[in-house]
C-alpha cells in the first residue's frame, strides 16, 4: 500500500473518530440528557482543530502531485477524487493565524456557556383559565397559530419578546463581537462575509443581488395581502400576536383531525417507501417530543457519515429531532413536516456514495442551500392535494375534503410571499448586525434594528416570532446561514417544476427517489449546488420558479390544485410494493426507547402509536 493511500485512509479514520465523539456529545447535550457542556466544548474544539489544520493543505497537495505521476488506474482516479475532497474541506475551514485559532476557541466556549444558560431559561404564557403556564417556544408558536383566546396569544408573544431581551442581555452581543474578530483576523469584512463565502461560495454582494431581486419581485403581493387582511379582519389582525391566527388559525384547527399525531410515523414511512427512497442500511435515531431542557428546534446531524471505505460500504448513523406536543392542535401537521424535512436530510446523508466522509458530512464545504434543497423538497409534498388525498385522513378514513383544501389555499396563497420573506428578513438583519461597530452593538440598538427590518421586509411592526428569538443566531454553525433556506426553496420549486413537467405528478411517484439519489445525493459536496440542478433539470439555479408561485392569485392556485386532484382521481390505485426503507429506525424520548423496527416497520408504527396514546392520553382528535 502506498504512502499516499495510507495517508488518505488515516484522514478518513481520524475524521470519523473525532467527528463521532463530538456528535455523540452534541446529541446528548442538545437533547438535555447530559449537562457535560465542558466535555462537549472540548470535543468541539478537537473537531475544529482537525478541520482547521492549515498544514493539511500542503500535505494533500503534495500527495495529489504524487498520485498524478502514477500510471493510470481506477484506484488512481478514486484516490485523486478523495484527496481533492479533503483539500476542499481544509481550504474552507483552515485557520493559520494563531490569534484566529484563539478567537475560534473562545467562541466555542462562549457558545457552550450561552447554550447552558439558555437551557435553564423558563418562558411562560397565560392559559384560558388565567393560569401562568411554563412553555417551550414550540408551544408559544402553536398558541399564536391556533388559540382562539387573545390573552393566550398575547402572552405567548410576550414570551418571545422575553426571550429576545434575554438573548441580547446574556451573551449574544459578545458573541457577535468575537465572531467579527475571528473573521477579520482571517481577512474577511465581518463574520457574515466569512460565513457566506465559506458556506455558499459567494460574496455578500452576490448573495444580496439574488435576495434584493426576490424582495422586489414579491414586495407588491405582500403589501396587497396585508391590506386585504386588514380590510377583512381589521387592523388588529396585523398585530404580531394576532397575525398567525387570523391568517390560518381556523384552517389549522379544521385540518387537525386529518393529521393525527399518532399516524405521523406510519405516513412518513409509507410515503417515503412509495417515492422509492432508500437509506442504504443507515441507522436512524429519532427524538420527536418536546421536553424541558431539550433544544427547541428540529435538526438532523450524522455522527457517522456514509462512504465507501476502500470499496466497503460504511452506512450512515443519523440522529434527528423535533419538539412535538402531541396534545396540542397542529401537532400532527408539525410532526409529519419534521419527519419529511429531517427525513429528507437523512435520506440525502445516507446516500452519498463517494470514497471519503468529507463528501457526506453536513457542514462546509457542503452548501447549506444544497443540503436544505433535499429536505425542503420532501416537506413541500405535504401541501400537495394528491398527498393529502392519499395520506391525510381522519379516524373514519375520510380524506381531506376539496372544500377544506380550497380553504387552505385561500388562507395560505396570499401569504406565500410572506412566508418566504420570513426567511428573507434574517439575512438582512444579520448583515446589518455584523456590519455595526462594536460601540453600536447595544441591546437597544439590536432590538430597534430587528423591528426596523421586520417592518421593511414583513410589512408589520413586529414578527410573530421576533428575529432575535430564532435559535440559529446563537450557534456558529447556523449563524449567518439562514438565507440557505430561501436559496433552497428556490431550487425546490425549480426541481418540482421539472418533475411535474416530466411525470405530471409527485406523490407516490417511485421515480423520484432514484432520480434524487442519482443527481442530488450520490455526489455529495463533490459538485456544486448549481451543478446538481443542471444534472437533473438541465438548467442552472433560478429564483424565477419560487417567485412565480409566490405571485399566483388564489384562483390560479386553486385551478392548479383542482387539476392535481383530477389527475389523482384518474390515476390507478397505488399498489404498495416497497417492503422497507432499508434503515434501522429507533424512536426515543430522551434516554427512553419508544419504538424500533427491529422486527418490522409495522411493529415500529404500532409501538409508537401505543406509547403516544398512553403517554399523552390522546383522544377525540382523530386518533
Q: Going along 315-436, which residue ranges are E strands?
A: 317-324
Any bridge partners for residue 584, and if so which? Answer: 283
**Residue labelled with grid coordinates 447535550:** 29
Q: Which run of H or E residues covers position 317?
A: strand 317-324
CB atoms within 10 A of CB 46: 14
pLDDT reported for residue 602: 95
Query: Which of 112-132 are b and which e, b meaning 16 or more Cβ less than 10 Å from the residue's Cβ?
Result: bebbeebbeeebbbbbeeeee
- What residues does CATH 1.10.1370.40 cover in the chain? 257-419+482-530+544-570+584-616
Whether CATH 3.40.50.10130 fits 108-249+428-452: no
**In contact, 449 and 172? CB cutoff 8 Å:** no
Q: Rounded distance, CA 196 to CA 29, Å?
A: 27
d(CA 11, CA 457): 45
Could you give the residue range(s) of every CATH 1.10.1370.10 domain in the chain? 108-249+428-452
At 297 the pLDDT is: 84
- Prediction pTM value: 0.93
**Is the CATH code 1.10.1370.40 the one for domain 257-419+482-530+544-570+584-616?**
yes
Phi first, then psi, for residue 294 (nearest 5°) are -85, 145
Per-block average pLDDT, block size 10, for the chain (623 residues)? 93 98 96 94 95 96 96 93 97 89 91 91 96 93 93 98 97 97 95 95 95 95 96 96 89 92 95 96 96 89 97 97 86 91 97 98 92 97 97 96 96 95 98 98 98 98 97 92 96 98 97 98 96 96 93 96 96 79 97 97 96 78 43
Q: What is the pLDDT of residue 618?
A: 59
Q: Alpha helices of 469-553 — where are they, by DSSP H?
A: 483-503, 512-516, 529-537, 544-550
Contact 85, 358 (CB under 8 A): yes
For residue 21, whether the previous peptide bond is cis, meaning omega lies within 30 degrees of 0, is no
Amino acid at each position: 500500500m502506498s504512502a499516499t493511500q495510507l495517508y488518505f485512509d488515516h484522514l478518513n479514520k481520524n475524521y470519523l473518530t473525532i467527528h463521532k465523539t463530538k456528535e455523540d456529545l452534541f446529541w446528548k447535550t442538545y437533547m438535555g440528557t447530559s449537562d457535560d457542556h465542558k466535555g462537549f466544548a472540548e470535543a468541539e474544539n478537537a473537531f475544529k482543530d482537525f478541520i482547521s489544520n492549515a498544514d493539511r493543505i500542503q500535505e494533500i497537495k503534495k500527495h495529489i502531485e504524487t498520485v498524478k505521476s502514477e500510471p493510470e488506474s481506477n484506484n488512481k482516479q478514486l484516490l485523486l477524487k478523495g484527496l481533492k475532497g479533503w483539500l476542499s474541506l481544509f481550504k474552507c475551514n483552515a485557520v493559520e493565524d494563531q490569534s484566529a485559532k484563539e478567537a475560534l476557541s473562545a467562541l466555542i466556549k462562549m457558545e457552550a456557556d450561552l447554550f447552558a444558560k439558555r437551557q435553564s431559561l423558563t418562558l411562560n404564557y397565560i392559559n384560558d383559565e388565567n393560569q401562568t403556564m411554563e412553555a417551550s417556544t414550540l408551544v408559544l408558536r402553536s398558541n399564536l397559530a391556533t388559540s382562539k383566546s387573545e390573552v393566550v396569544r398575547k402572552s405567548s408573544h410576550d414570551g418571545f419578546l422575553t426571550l429576545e431581551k434575554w438573548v441580547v442581555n446574556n451573551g449574544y452581543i459578545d458573541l457577535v463581537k468575537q465572531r467579527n474578530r475571528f473573521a477579520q483576523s482571517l481577512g474577511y469584512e465581518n463574520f457574515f462575509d466569512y460565513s457566506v463565502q465559506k458556506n455558499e461560495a459567494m460574496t455578500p454582494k452576490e448573495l444580496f443581488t439574488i435576495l434584493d431581486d426576490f424582495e422586489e419581485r414579491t414586495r407588491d403581493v405582500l403589501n396587497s395581502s396585508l391590506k386585504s387582511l386588514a380590510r377583512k379582519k381589521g387592523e388588529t389582525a396585523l398585530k404580531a400576536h394576532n397575525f398567525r391566527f387570523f391568517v390560518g388559525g381556523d384552517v389549522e384547527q379544521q385540518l387537525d383531525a386529518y393529521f393525527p399525531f399518532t399516524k405521523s410515523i406510519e405516513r412518513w414511512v409509507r410515503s417515503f417507501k412509495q417515492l422509492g427512497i432508500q437509506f442504504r442500511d443507515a441507522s436512524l435515531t429519532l427524538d420527536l417530543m418536546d421536553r424541558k431542557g431539550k433544544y427547541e428546534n428540529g435538526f438532523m446531524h450524522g455522527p457517522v457519515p456514509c462512504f465507501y471505505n476502500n470499496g466497503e460500504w460504511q452506512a450512515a448513523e443519523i440522529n434527528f429531532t423535533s419538539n412535538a406536543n402531541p396534545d396540542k392542535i397542529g401537532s400532527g401537521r408539525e410532526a409529519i413536516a419534521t419527519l419529511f424535512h429531517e427525513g429528507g436530510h437523512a435520506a440525502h446523508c445516507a446516500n452519498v456514495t463517494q470514497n471519503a466522509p468529507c463528501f457526506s458530512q453536513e457542514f462546509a464545504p457542503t452548501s447549506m442551500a444544497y443540503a436544505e434543497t433535499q429536505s425542503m423538497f420532501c416537506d413541500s409534498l405535504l401541501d400537495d392535494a394528491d398527498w393529502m388525498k392519499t395520506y391525510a385522513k381522519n379516524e373514519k378514513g375520510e380524506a381531506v375534503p376539496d372544500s377544506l383544501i380550497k380553504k387552505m389555499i385561500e388562507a395560505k396563497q396570499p401569504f406565500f410571499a410572506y412566508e418566504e420573506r420570513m426567511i428573507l428578513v434574517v439575512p438582512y438583519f444579520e448583515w446589518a448586525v455584523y456590519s455595526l461597530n462594536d460601540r453600536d452593538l447595544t441591546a437597544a440598538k439590536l432590538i430597534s434594528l430587528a423591528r426596523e427590518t421586520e417592518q421593511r421586509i414583513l410589512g408589520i411592526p413586529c414578527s410573530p416570532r421576533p428575529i432575535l428569538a430564532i435559535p440559529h443566531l446563537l450557534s456558529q454553525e447556523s449563524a449567518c446561514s439562514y438565507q440557505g433556506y430561501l436559496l433552497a426553496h428556490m431550487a425546490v420549486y425549480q426541481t418540482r417544476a421539472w418533475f411535474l413537467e416530466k411525470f405530471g405528478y409527485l406523490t407516490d411517484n417511485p421515480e423520484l427517489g432514484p432520480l434524487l439519489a442519482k443527481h442530488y445525493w450520490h455526489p455529495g459536496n463533490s459538485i456544486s449546488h448549481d451543478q446538481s440542478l443542471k444534472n437533473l433539470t438541465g438548467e442552472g439555479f433560478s429564483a424565477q420558479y419560487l417567485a412565480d408561485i409566490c405571485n399566483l392569485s388564489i384562483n390560479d392556485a386553486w385551478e392548479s390544485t383542482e387539476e392535481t386532484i383530477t389527475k389523482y382521481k384518474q390515476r390507478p390505485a397505488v399498489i404498495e410494493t416497497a417492503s422497507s426503507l432499508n434503515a434501522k429506525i429507533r424512536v426515543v424520548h430522551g434516554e427512553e426507547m419508544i419504538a424500533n423496527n427491529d422486527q418490522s416497520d409495522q411493529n415500529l408504527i404500532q409501538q409508537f402509536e401505543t406509547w403516544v396514546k398512553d403517554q399523552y392520553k390522546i383522544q377525540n382528535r382523530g386518533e
